[in-house]
Amino acid sequence: MVYFDSSTSTGMHGSGHLPQLSEFMKLRAGRETTMIHFYDNFLSCVVWKNDWKRNVTKQPVPKFTTNSDEAFALLVLENGWDEWIKIKPHEHFILKSGRNENNKRPPVVGGRWTSDAKGSTRFGGWKEEAIIQFNELCALVEKDRAENGHFDKTYFESKSGHRKLPKKTESVIKAYDELDNDLIEEV
């Protein structure tokens, strides 16, 4: 799936289903739920689903993915952002099957850096600006992994069954309850 539960509201795109691109670009320094979404739905596709499934419960993601894998997933996401935000949850399975209700493939336009570049691929290859952006994203990922690697440990623990990640919200703030002895003891 390429969208979040609509009941999750923070950091979401206007449709309420996909985090803002700016949230994805914060990587591990951003919201934990956005990074989980990025790993589960975008990076896992770049790495190859079978490798992802085989490794995600055995070792932290940076042990079996490269900085360039992660940067490329971000580049692809950024490149196709205008198309991603058009996807509605009820249409997901139609898009996934490649057909719409008239049994025709939905039109796909080129991305930010692929629509008119020269090359031999379907959308004309990557423009030079994309290569520059990719290099910048590689540096960003390298720095983020070094500074915020604690997320990868948490994610690995959740996938290997040792810890549960938050589902709807990251807030763990509790309201005061005079009957909750544990909370009173902490204070």
Q: Is the torsion defined by CA of 10, 159, 162, 155 positive or negative?
A: negative
Q: Domain range holding 110?
A: 21-186
Q: What average pLDDT does the segment 135-153 reach?
A: 96
Q: Determine, yes or no, domain membership for 3.
A: no
77-112: per-residue pLDDT in tens?
A: 999 888 777 766 555 444 445 555 655 555 666 788
Q: Determine, yes or no, domain membership for 1.
A: no
Report the number of distinct structural domains present in the chain: 1
Check whether 117 has a pLDDT greater than 50.
Answer: no
**CA-to-CA distance for 122 and 107, rounded, in angstroms?**
13
Query: Where do we find the tokens 């025709």?
Result: 104
Looking at residue 36, its amino acid is I
Comparing 99 with 48, the larger pLDDT belongs to: 48
Comparing 34 with 86, the larger pLDDT belongs to: 34
Q: Determine, yes or no, domain membership for 144.
A: yes
What pTM, to 2 d.p., does this model score? 0.68
Q: What average pLDDT does the segment 11-40 reach?
A: 80
Q: Determine, yes or no, domain membership for 127.
A: yes
> Measuring CA to CA, how many Å separate 23 from each of 6, 13, 51, 99, 158?
17, 10, 26, 30, 21
Q: Determine, yes or no, domain membership for 6.
A: no
Confidence of residue 12 (pLDDT cuts 50, 70, 90): very low
Comparing 134 with 115, the larger pLDDT belongs to: 134
